[in-house]
């Protein structure tokens, strides 16, 4: 199965074409069904690889597996899932109403991919429906954090330009107010991604808070400077529509202070991870716990507590 091949791991592969070539090898000599996302830019390359069976899914074009009448809610998604004919139904395909506890268009794509894979191995439509509807939100994937605040706060693992764009897009459907992003970009990894993620936020979100995300042995100042340039390149103004805050805990707390009723604070990049690397040291860190502690402090009028990162006293 290939869901999408986007701007990622280019520090290893050099450029997108080499990355795509490496991914394409997964389909070569495949003796089982290949599940492809017809809407992804990789499709044109992958569709030409000979496979024993291919099942395609799409939200934009005709495909084997599709969805219609999609209704996006703040905490669930409903749509009609359309499957191709199964072994037991002859020429008649299934059309099944799905009500899932997952949010955002990217999760509809994920559900189509899962449905296509299940169909490929002979699982019937009702079992697919049961499986999709039984999935709850994954830890650190568009996970809502509620401490009684008058605005929404969501933690997500988005750490690539495409993932950040999809997370902001999902957030737009969850909130009627502004979207405030908090994220960084890792050191010793794809450098170009820093500019691209900052540009995505400057265009797609309303306010942006740039912060640390595993700087490793690179200078956090230099990483944030590059990201700030990406924001400025798309018209963002430092101190008005974007900010640089070295300490991730303080950045989260600062973003909470920007939020108004009906806004959504979207904290991206770490998700489920349990540590953050500065130099060669892994410091204990969990975005979900940090966000809860920031909210408790914010709502009680107390300053952000020191959560143990070496950046806490940097300004």
CA distance 156 to 169: 13
Give a yes or no: residue 306 inside a domain: no
Name the domain boundary from 82, 112, 134.
134
Give a yes or no: residue 314 inside a domain: no
The pLDDT-based confidence of 91 (bands split at 50, 70, 90) is: very low
- The pLDDT score that the predictor gives to residue 203 is 98
- The pLDDT score that the predictor gives to residue 146 is 95
Q: Which residue has the tokens 């909130």?
A: 175
Domain containing residue 197: 143-299
Clarify whether residues 247 and 155 are in a common domain.
yes
* pLDDT, mean over the chain: 91
Q: Is the pLDDT of residue 26 over 80?
A: no
**Global pTM?**
0.85
Percent of the chain with pLDDT over 90: 76
The pLDDT-based confidence of 51 (bands split at 50, 70, 90) is: confident
In sequence order, what E strands does the chain have? 33-37, 53-58, 65-72, 77-82, 95-100, 143-144, 152-156, 179-183, 207-210, 242-244, 264-268, 275-278, 281-284
Segment 189-213, tens digit of pLDDT: 889 999 999 999 999 999 999 999 9
The CATH number covering residue 71 comes to: 3.40.1190.10
CA distance 237 to 240: 5
Clarify whether residues 24 and 119 are in a common domain.
yes
Q: Is the pLDDT of residue 223 over 90?
A: yes
Give a yes or no: residue 5 inside a domain: no
Clarify whether residues 102 and 167 are in a common domain.
no
Number of domains observed in the structure of the chain? 2
């Amino acid at each position: 199965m290939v869901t999408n091949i986007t701007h990622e791991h280019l520090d290893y592969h050099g450029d997108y074409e080499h990355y795509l070539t490496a991914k394409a090898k997964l389909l070569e000599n495949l003796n089982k069904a290949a599940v492809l996302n017809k809407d992804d830019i990789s499709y044109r390359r992958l569709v030409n690889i000979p496979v024993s069976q291919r099942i395609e899914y799409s939200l934009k074009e005709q495909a084997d597996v599709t969805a219609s009448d999609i209704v996006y809610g703040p905490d669930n998604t409903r749509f009609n899932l359309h499957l191709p004919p199964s072994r037991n139904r002859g020429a008649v395909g299934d059309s099944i109403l799905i009500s899932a506890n997952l949010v955002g268009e990217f999760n509809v794509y994920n559900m189509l991919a899962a449905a296509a894979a299940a169909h490929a191995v002979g699982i019937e439509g009702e079992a697919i429906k049961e499986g999709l509807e039984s999935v709850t939100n994954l830890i650190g994937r568009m996970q809502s954090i509620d401490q009684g605040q008058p605005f929404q706060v969501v933690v997500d693992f988005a750490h690539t330009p495409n993932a950040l764009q999809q997370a902001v897009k999902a957030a737009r459907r969850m909130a009627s107010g502004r979207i405030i992003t908090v994220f960084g970009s890792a050191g010793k990894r794809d450098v170009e991604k820093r500019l691209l993620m900052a540009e995505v936020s400057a265009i797609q979100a309303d306010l942006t808070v740039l912060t640390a995300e595993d700087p490793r042995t690179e200078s956090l100042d230099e990483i944030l400077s590059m990201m700030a340039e990406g924001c400025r390149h798309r018209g963002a103004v430092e101190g008005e529509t974007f900010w640089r805050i070295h300490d991730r805990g303080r950045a989260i707390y600062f973003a909470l202070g920007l939020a108004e009723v009906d806004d959504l604070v979207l904290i991206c990049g770490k998700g489920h991870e349990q540590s953050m690397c500065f130099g060669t040291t892994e410091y204990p860190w969990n975005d979900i716990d940090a966000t809860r502690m920031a909210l408790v402090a914010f709502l009680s009028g107390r300053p952000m507590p020191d959560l143990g990162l070496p950046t806490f006293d940097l300004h």
